[in-house]
Structure 1
Amino acid sequence: MKAIIPVAGAGTKLRPHTYTQPKALIPIAGKTVLSIIVEQLQEAGVQDFIFITGYLGEKIQDYIKETFPTINSTFVNQGERQGLGHAILLTKDAVQHDEVMIVLGDTICEYNIKEVLQSNVSMLAVKKVDDPRNFGVAEVDEESLIHKVVEKPHIPKSNMALVGIYKIIETNMLFDCLEANFREGVKNRDEYSLTDALQCMIEKGTTFQSFKVLNWFDCGNKDSLLESNATLLKKFGTSISPDHRFENVIIVEPVSIGKNCEIRNSIVGPNVAVGDNTTINYSIIKESIIGSYADLFDIVLEESLIGSDTEVKGETRSLNIGDNTEIDLG
């Protein structure tokens, strides 16, 4: 079993943060989106990983090699983004006929991974959504078998969205369908979609079993990222590095505070994640994510996303500030 994790997207909905940091490395609940995905798969016994990189791909490689030195990692570059189907097709030589678990690099879900990995049929993760038009959609029968998948349908016949987790046994057929779609120019919204290849497999007789995820944490934009951060902090619990300097500080749990942070005369929490080597003074921070090496002084922040190497002074309520920024609101 090999895991394929596509992380080539530019993350436009999380700008300005993704100008300098891949979306998969955005901090959340004291970790990163990518580290949560890799740790889940590792704990279930997966050791072979294929990362599809592109935009800021060298940062992904450096992060994986430093954070997960024991896994077998292969990096495949998607130089021109032509959709998820095209990205998966690029991994054909690395897969070498093995079964695969495809997990999108911005998809954090709670589900029984070991049960999915041990299944003797291919499986697709689904979750009921209010408006499925922006997702791949699965039409599922009473036995949880999938008989049709459609990418972003204008008139959905189902509200069961594909959440971005795919366990594929018949990888030879997957790549045959991907190659056929690429050869014939089968596109959806000007991209080669993985969903179209899955439908091709269904038409050729592949059985897909659906499975429902317990929770699906959306990390696609600022508001959903902050909401997911709060939920995961409640799940993981408070984590404060012992290597810190606090003076006259009130902590309202849950929070995650990284290494070598200096916090004075401040209130931090609830639902705040602070990166390493950050300084906070005379401030109130809640419901926010603060990057590493940030410097916050005399500030009131709520529902804010502050990048790394950022200096912010003065009073405000809600900010979305990228890396390497200095702002004086006094």
Structure 2
Amino acid sequence: MKAIIPVAGAGAKLRPHTYTQPKALIPIAGKTILSFIVDQLHTAGINEFIFIVGYLGEKIQDYVKQTYPDLHCHFVYQNERQGTGHAIELTKNIVGDDEVFVVLGDTICDYDVKEIMDSGYSMLGVKKVDDPRSFGVAEIGDEGFITHVVEKPSIPKSNMALVGLYKIKETHFLFECLHHLFTEDIKTYGEYNLTDALDCMIKRGARFKPFKVKNWFDCGKKETLLESNATLLKKFGGKIHESVQNENSIIVPPVSIGPGCILKNAIIGPHVAVGANTTVQYSILRDSIIGSYTNLYEVVLDNSLIGSDASVKGLSRSLNIGDNTEIDFG
């Protein structure tokens, strides 16, 4: 089985961070979003990965090669973003007849990957939501199979949202339906959508079973990213690297603090993730994500997202600051 991870999106809702960093490499709970996905699939036994890259794709490629040198990886460039269906179609020659596990590049979920891989059916991950109109939606029949999927319906007939996890056994069928979308120019909201291809498969006789995820961590925008960071820190307990220099500072768990950090007269936590080689002095941080190689001095931050190589001095408020930024409120 091969894993396909589309990470070509521009991540507009996480700007300014995604001007300089792909969304998949945004840090959360001591790891990147992409590492949560790859580690989960690799632990379950998947060793071959296809990354669909585009915007800042060279950063994805460099990160994967450096972090996972032993994985068998392919990189496919989606130069024109025409939707998830278009992205998956680009992998056709690499996939061949193998089964695939497609995981959207901003999807961190809590579920049993091995159980899904071992199932004899194609399967789609779902989660009950209050307002399904912003998601792909799955309708489930009496026999437990999915009867219809539709992308962002204005009048949903189900509250089971597709979470971005797709295990597909009949890949030849998938690529036939993707080809059908292109030849008939079938688009949803101006894009060739994977959901439409899956619905085409169902109409032609493919059988999909739903599987419910225990948790679905939304990493799409600042507020939900910070909420997901807090939840994941609670779940995994956080980690303070042994090289961290702590001088007269208080740490309130759970937190994640990367290697090479210097803490001086600071209070950090709860629910704070700090990247490598960051210095925090005379500051109070809580419910925040701080990038690497950043300097914070005399600040009080709550619910803030600070990029890498940033410098912030002297303030008390909530911030959303991108990479390579210097701010002095003195």
Q: TM-score range by the shorter chain?
A: over 0.9
Deviations 1:273-295 (A, max 9, x none): 00000000000000000000000
Aligned counterpart, 2:178: 178
TM value normalised by structure 1: 0.99
Residue aligned with 2:246, SS = strand
Matches within 5 A, 1:222-233: 222-233=222-233
CA distance in 1 between partners of 2:209 and 2:136 (Å):
15
- Quote the offset at 1:87 in angstroms: 0.2
1:104 and 2:136 are equivalent in the alignment: no
Q: Aligned partners of 2:181 and 2:196: how far apart in 1?
A: 8
Q: Which moved more, 1:238-247 or 1:287-296?
A: 238-247
* Percentage of matched positions with identical amino acids: 67
Query: TM-score, normalization: structure 2?
Result: 0.99
Determine if contact 1:316/1:329 at 8 Å carries over to the other structure.
Answer: no
Amino acid in structure 2 at the alignment position of 1:162:
L
Contact 2:107 2:219 in 1 (8 A): yes
Query: Deviations along 1:98-150, whole A, 9 cap, x unmatched?
Result: 00000000000011111100111100000111111111100012332100001
Q: Give runs of ≥4 in structure 1 deviating > 3 Å.
A: none
Which whole-Å CA distance do the structure 1 matches of 2:254 and 2:14 have between them?
24
Partner of 2:66: 66
Q: What are the equivalent positions in structure 2 for 1:230-249 lying under 5 Å apart?
A: 230-249=230-249
Q: Residues of 1 paired with 2:316 and 2:19: CA distance? A: 24
1:84 Cα deviation after fit: 0.3
Taking the aligned partners of 1:97 and 1:56, their CA distance within structure 2 comes to 30
- Equivalent in the alignment of 2:117: 117
1:317 aligns to what?
A: 317
Alignment partner of 1:196 is 2:196? yes
Could you say what secondary structure the match of 2:173 adopts?
helix
In 2, the alpha carbon distance for the partners of 1:183 and 1:25 equals: 35
Q: Give CA deviations for 1:243-266 in whole Å, capped at 9, x if unaligned.
A: 121100000000000010011001
- The 5 Å alignment of 1:28-39 reads 28-39=28-39
Structure 1 unaligned segments of length 5 or more: list them.
Answer: none
Aligned-partner Cα distance in 1 for 2:314–2:329: 4
In 1: Cα distance, 2:143 partner to 2:128 partner: 16
**Counterpart position of 1:85:** 85
Which residue in the other structure is 1:208 paired with? Answer: 208
Partner of 2:167: 167
Q: C-alpha displacement at 1:235, in angstroms?
A: 1.0
In structure 2, the gaps of 5 or more residues are none
Cα distance in 1 for residues equivalent to 2:167 and 2:192: 19
Q: Does 1:9 align with 2:9?
A: yes
Of stretches 319-328 and 142-151 in structure 1, the one that deviates more from structure 2 is 142-151
1:183 deviation in Å?
Answer: 1.3
1:329 Cα offset (Å): 1.3
What is residue 275 of structure 2 aligned with on the other side? 275
Question: Is the CA contact 2:265–2:281 (under 8 Å) kept in the aligned structure 1?
Answer: yes
Aligned to 1:133: 133
Secondary structure of residue in 2 paired with 1:314:
strand
Alpha-carbon distance between aligned partners in 1 of 2:144 and 2:283, rounded to the nearest angstrom = 51
CA contact (8 A) 2:83 2:191 kept: yes
Partner of 1:265 in structure 2? 265
Q: Report the equivalent of 1:284.
A: 284
Between the aligned partners of 2:144 and 2:115, the Cα distance in structure 1 is 15
In structure 1, how many angstroms separate the alpha carbons of the residues matched to 2:72 and 2:178? 25
Q: Quote the residue 1:76 is aligned against.
A: 76
Contact (CA 8 Å) 2:29, 2:238: kept in 1 or not? Answer: no
- In structure 1, the residue corresponding to 2:201 is in which secondary structure? helix
Letter of the 2:325 counterpart:
T
Retained in 1: the 8 A contact 2:30–2:238? no
User: Aligned equivalents of 2:168 and 2:119: distance in 1?
Assistant: 10
> 1:146-167: per-residue Cα shift (whole Å, max 9, x none)?
0000111111111100000000
State how far apart, in whole Å, the 2-side matches of 1:282 and 1:142 are: 60
C-alpha displacement of 1:319: 0.2
